[in-house]
Amino acid sequence: MKLLFIDDEQTFLKYLAKRLALDGFTVKTTFSGEEGIKVAASEDFDVAVVDLQMPGINGIEVQKRLKELQPSLPCIVLTGHGTVENALECGKYNAFKFLSKPIDMDILINTINEAYNHRLEKEKSTSGSDKYAESNTKNEGTFKKAFNKFRKLYGVDK
Q: Is residue 74 part of a domain?
A: yes
Structural domain for 21, as ranges: 2-153
Q: Is residue 147 part of a domain?
A: yes
Q: Residue 146 maps to which CATH number?
A: 3.40.50.2300
Dihedral (CA of 83, 73, 128, 157) sign: negative
Q: Is residue 81 part of a domain?
A: yes
Residue pair 47/122 in contact (Cβ under 8 Å)? The answer is no
Q: Is residue 99 part of a domain?
A: yes
Give the count of domains, the chain: 1
- Listed in sequence order, the residues at least 6 apart from 35 whose beta carbon sits closer than 8 Å to its beta carbon are 6
Q: pLDDT means per 10 residues in the chain (158 residues)? A: 95 93 95 96 96 88 93 89 56 74 92 95 74 47 54 50
pTM of the predicted model as reported, rounded to 2 decimal places: 0.74
Q: Is 77 exposed, middle or buried (0-12, 13-18, 19+ CB in 10 A)?
A: buried
Strands (E), the chain: 2-6, 26-30, 47-51, 75-79, 97-100
